[in-house]
Structure 1
Amino acid sequence: MRLVAVSAGLSTPSSTRLLADRLVESVRDELAVRGGVVSAEVVELRELAGDIADHLVTGFPAPHLAAAIGAVTGADGLIAVTPVFTASYSGLFKSFFDVIDPDALADKPVLVAATGGTARHSLVLEHAMRPLFAYLRTAVVPTAVYAASADWGSGGDAYADGLPARIRRAGGELATLMADRPTRVEPADDVTALEQHLADLRFD
């Protein structure tokens, strides 16, 4: 199985990337317990910002952006993490998903997460991110993860619903959806199917 995380953090180091890494680790641990083998990749949108802008104007993705889009659309599970800008996801985050075919993520298991300076912005998960991925017809896990600056302190582990607990719960939910997802088989085109049917009839 293939797990891909999209991180829209702009700084280095980035709390957005840190949250993405923690979520990837949680999903991999959960799937390992179930005997699943997972390859994981993190797509850093900061490195693709110029290519994304060019693609919006020209309609043609540069090679690195095309590879990132291919990784996201081909993943068995997706983790999407954005910093909060003006009470919503960042423009870079939205622009990346704008250049992906709207049908390419249908039914894909997705875990949404966000980072911000204060817990007051946590509703971005419900009023911005869930509607975006609902429009893309993905299967979003019930638990979304928001990490405010205070959540990274030592006190986070002391609460039953602290950041580490939310990461574990969300990771388990995504792992379940990935493990239960049927293997996709590309359907044969009508001509090939008809030829095979006729060939089978000849030997009846």
Structure 2
Amino acid sequence: MAERTIAVISAGLSKPSSTRLLADRLGDAAARRLIERGDTVKVEVIELRDLAHDITNNLLTGFPSSQLESAIEKVLTADGVIAVTPIFTASYNGLFKSFFDIIEPGSLIDMPVLLAATGGTARHSLAIDYALRPLFAYLHADVASTGVFASTDDWGSDEDGVKPLPERIDRAAEELVGLVTRSTRSKVLHDPWALPAGFRPNGPAGLE
């Protein structure tokens, strides 16, 4: 029996949003499987919409607000992360990318991660593989092989032979739980607020 924390990141811009709905479904599914294994689980939901101004200010100044600092700490100290973004112009939205831009390089090494996305049509479903996976490969996260995409009319649909959304959610959650239970990632992390090498006054290294 272990105490587990799952950080669920939602980059939806509207309230309510299908992105948050999918994030909640995935978080619930992962928590349910961990509980079935005898673990105690805490799910921490991080709405990036509520942190948009803080994220922008951090990009400009290199310093986080207390609210943003708390959100990043929840991510870095979690046993696993569920990251969900709407797809804009064939990729993740700017808010999603900006949040991960301000996380210290190396902080997500070997972190178990489940990737998911929402969009208007199933034509955007490949964005998980060609946009999100390269980002988390760069971050050296341990990403579940199954990503979950939900289009506007995808909730509960098995049209054209596509597995129903609940089935895909269950499969992805099971994979994430497997990564979490096998993970040897240390919770002794680098200080996320240490200034990286090459820091310049106008923001973190590499940001202009």
Give the TM-score taking structure 1 as reference length. Answer: 0.87
Equivalent positions of 1:30-69 (< 5 A) are 30-69=33-72
Which whole-Å CA distance do the structure 2 matches of 1:183 and 1:117 have between them?
36
2:12 maps to what in 1?
9
Please tell me whether residue 122 in structure 1 is matched to residue 125 in structure 2. Answer: yes
CA 1:38–1:159 in 2, change beyond 3 Å: closer, same or farther? farther
Which whole-Å CA distance do the structure 1 matches of 2:187 and 2:56 have between them?
34
- Out of 178, 181, 190, the residue aligned to residue 180 of structure 2 is 178
Which whole-Å CA distance do the structure 1 matches of 2:187 and 2:157 have between them?
47
Larger Rg: 1
1:25 maps to what in 2?
28
Shift of 1:159: 6.2
Shift of 1:33: 1.2
1:104 maps to what in 2?
107
1:201 maps to what in 2?
none
Which whole-Å CA distance do the structure 2 matches of 1:185 and 1:33 have between them?
24
Which whole-Å CA distance do the structure 1 matches of 2:85 and 2:173 have between them?
17
Amino acid at match of 1:161: K
Shift of 1:161: 1.5
Query: What is the percentage of aligned positions where both structures have the same residue?
Result: 54
Shift of 1:184: 2.8
SS of aligned partner of 2:85: strand
Please tell me whether residue 89 in structure 1 is matched to residue 95 in structure 2. Answer: no
Shift of 1:182: 3.0
Asked if the contact 2:110/2:185 (under 8 Å) is kept, the reply is no
Computed over aligned residues only, the root mean square deviation of the Cα atoms, in angstroms, reads: 1.8
Give the number of aligned pairs: 186
Which whole-Å CA distance do the structure 2 matches of 1:181 and 1:24 have between them?
18
Amino acid at match of 1:38: V
Which blocks of at least 5 consecutive residues in structure 1 are unaligned? 188-204
Q: Deviations over 1:15-46 (max 9, x none)?
A: 00000000001101111111111110110000
CA 1:160–1:27 in 2, change beyond 3 Å: closer, same or farther? same
Higher helix proportion, which one? 1
1:77 maps to what in 2?
80
Shift of 1:186: 4.4
- Out of 91, 101, 116, the residue aligned to residue 113 of structure 1 is 116
Shift of 1:155: 3.4
SS of aligned partner of 1:41: strand
Q: Deviations over 1:31-81 (max 9, x none)?
A: 111111111011000000000000000000000000001001111100000
Please identify runs of 4+ aligned residues in structure 1 that moved more than 6 A: 157-160
CA 1:163–1:102 in 2, change beyond 3 Å: closer, same or farther? same
